[in-house]
Amino acid sequence: KDEISIDLKNESIIISGERNETQKSNKRNYHSRETYYGKFSKSFYLPDNIAEDKIEATYTDGILSVLIPKDKKKELARTIQIK
């Protein structure tokens, strides 16, 4: 969770970070070691009717959850009468 960053920029949310993990395996006849590392980034466009100040993120058991609530005051849906 310390290596993950969440940013809001230009009507989008950007989730980025860096992974660095090593897996070791000791068997009777051989020894193996695999290393996974590198930067990652994913971005999503957000609609206009979100509550930016109420966005929350949690990281539990290796799962990142981002809650982006709607702002009811910014609802764009309405009915237009035909004249």
| Confidence (pLDDT) at 57 | 93
6 close to 14: Cβ distance less than 8 angstroms: yes
| Confidence (pLDDT) at 15 | 93
| Confidence (pLDDT) at 44 | 92
Q: Which of 22-36, 41-55, 58-72 has the lowest mean pLDDT?
A: 22-36
Among 59, 14, 58, 12, CA closest to 40: 14
| Span 66-80, pLDDT tens digits | 999 988 777 666 778
Q: How confident is the model at residue 16 (pLDDT cuts 50, 70, 90)?
A: very high
pTM for this entry: 0.65
